[in-house]
């Protein structure tokens, strides 16, 4: 559905994209996570041909739109099948939601009747039917975000690209938004959306890509990312004993964090060996706790 290979974009002396590789498969909800300034928007705008990367390859919906330079014809062709919702755009204040969708529909060469029908459907779907004749400039931030989503859906796209779609929304708005994305995905459509907030992608994404300083740090399901993180970073075991002990196990890092309190970092589960070792030293374990990192911690660790 979407494949990016070795994409490089340099702004003056900043490497915004530093050999980015990623792949989004058909029917996925792909969460593109990364801190501010990691290169998320640059990636999205490159896919849409609005930013000119220096190197790399971009394939969208089976068409190679960029390979060192953009293929304008292919780009226009795939844009008929893409929906894009930018971060924090204002739309045209002087138009009403109905007029906005109508004029966007015109860009896709939809007939008047098609535009009318689709606009009605979408305004009802995003809950803007009651304000369809109100000027966009007078709508609330949440309403405008929903209209931005509606305009991205006007052409019933195969691939929906959303750039920080939930920024500025209240919790209720976020929940509604997530539900809309799920509904869209149920129809077999692919969603690619960026966020710098893990909670926004956690519940709905089946695959996550983490971008840091223009490079993809990880790309997998959240469960697999967590497992991989644990494999690399190791388990953390906190123990407290009744007297001082000496731990000497292969591949185990020990930190003393208090009186008879130890933090053990290990790449495998060493609880049994620990029991034996402590018993040999005639000591007793008072408490033992395996500490698993939260996704938030994994994410923060990754972007460090």
Partner 1 sequence: MWSFKLEAKNSLRTKKFWLTIVLISLVYVIAFREIKDNLKATTNLQGVLTFSLIGYILASAFLFIGLYVLILGATSINGDLENGTVQISLSKPVNRIQYLIGKFLGQFVSIIVALLFATLLSLVITRYYSISITVKIISDLTIANALTLLSMLQLLALGLLISTFIRSQNTAISVVLILFLVTGLVAPQIVDSMAKDRAREEFHIKTPEDAMKMPVEERNKYHQRQIELQKEYHLRYLFYIPQVLLEDIVIDMQRTTFIKGKIRTEYIRAWDAIKNNPLRVSLLVGLTLVYLIMAVFRFVRMDLR
3-class DSSP assignment, residue 221: coil
CB atoms within 10 A of CB 28: 19
Of the residues 14, 64, 67, 80, which one makes contact with partner 1 according to CB under 8 A: 80
Among all chains, which residue has been given the structure tokens 């402590």? 278
* Contact present, 18 and 47 (Cβ < 8 Å): no
Is residue 184 within the footprint of partner 1 (CB under 8 A)? no
Q: How far apart are CB 155 and partner 1 at their closest, in Å?
A: 8
Q: Does 79 bind partner 1 (CB under 8 A)?
A: yes
Tokens 């041909």 belong to residue: 49
- Do residues 288 and 260 make contact, with C-beta atoms less than 8 angstroms apart? no
Contacts with 225 (C-beta within 8 Å, 6 or more apart), sequence order: 208, 210, 218, 298
Measured between alpha carbons, how far apart are the two ends of the chain, in Å?
30
Residue with tokens 């959240």: 222
- Of 6, 58, 41, 21, which Cα lies nearest the Cα of 217? 21
Q: Which residues pair with 255 in a beta bridge?
A: 263
Helices 97-107 and 141-153 meet at what angle, rounded to 10? 30
Q: Does 106 bind partner 1 (CB under 8 A)?
A: yes
Closer CB to partner 1, 5 or 87, in the complex: 87
- Binding of partner 1 at residue 211 (CB under 8 A)? no
Tell the smallest beta-carbon distance from residue 255 to partner 1 (Å).
45
Task: Establish if 108 lies at the interface with partner 1 (CB under 8 A).
Answer: yes
Question: Pattern of binders to partner 1 over 255-294, x per CB under 8 A?
Answer: ----------------------------------------
165 near partner 1, rule: CB under 8 A: no
Query: Shortest distance, CB of residue 108 to partner 1, whole angstroms?
Result: 6
Window 1 to 20, contacts with partner 1 (CB under 8 A) = 11
Residue with Cβ nearer partner 1 (55 or 77): 77
Q: How far is the CB of 157 from partner 1 (least distance, A)?
A: 10
Interacting residues with partner 1 (CB under 8 A):
11, 41-42, 45, 48-52, 72, 76-77, 79-80, 82, 84, 86-92, 94-95, 103-104, 106-109, 148, 151
């Amino acid at each position: 559905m979407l494949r990016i290979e070795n994409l490089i974009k340099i702004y003056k002396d900043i490497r915004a994209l530093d050999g980015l590789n990623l792949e989004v498969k058909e029917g996925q909800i792909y969460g593109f996570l990364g801190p501010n300034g990691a290169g998320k928007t640059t990636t999205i705008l490159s896919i849409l041909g609005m930013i000119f990367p220096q190197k790399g390859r971009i394939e969208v919906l089976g068409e190679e739109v960029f390979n060192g330079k953009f293929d304008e014809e292919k780009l226009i062709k795939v844009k008929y099948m893409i929906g894009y919702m930018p971060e924090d755009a204002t739309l045209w204040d002087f138009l009403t939601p109905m007029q906005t969708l109508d004029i966007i529909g015109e860009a896709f060469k939809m007939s008047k009747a098609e535009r009318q029908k689709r606009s009605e459907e979408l305004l009802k779907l995003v809950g803007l039917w009651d304000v369809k004749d109100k000027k966009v400039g007078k709508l609330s931030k949440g309403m405008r975000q929903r209209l931005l989503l509606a305009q991205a859906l006007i052409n019933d796209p195969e691939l929906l690209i959303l750039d920080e779609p939930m920024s500025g929304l209240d919790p209720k708005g976020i929940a509604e938004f997530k539900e809309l994305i799920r509904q869209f995905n149920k129809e077999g459509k692919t969603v690619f959306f960026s966020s710098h907030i893990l909670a926004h992608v956690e519940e709905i994404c089946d695959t996550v890509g983490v971008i840091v300083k223009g490079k993809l740090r990880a790309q997998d399901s959240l469960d697999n990312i967590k497992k991989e993180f644990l494999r690399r970073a190791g388990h953390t075991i906190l123990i407290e004993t009744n007297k001082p002990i000496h731990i000497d196990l292969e591949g185990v890092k020990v930190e003393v964090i208090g009186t008879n309190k130890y933090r053990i970092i290990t790449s495998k589960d060493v609880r049994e060996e620990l029991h034996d070792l402590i018993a040999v030293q005639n000591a007793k374990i008072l408490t033992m706790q395996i500490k698993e990192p939260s996704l938030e911690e994994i994410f923060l660790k990754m972007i460090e």
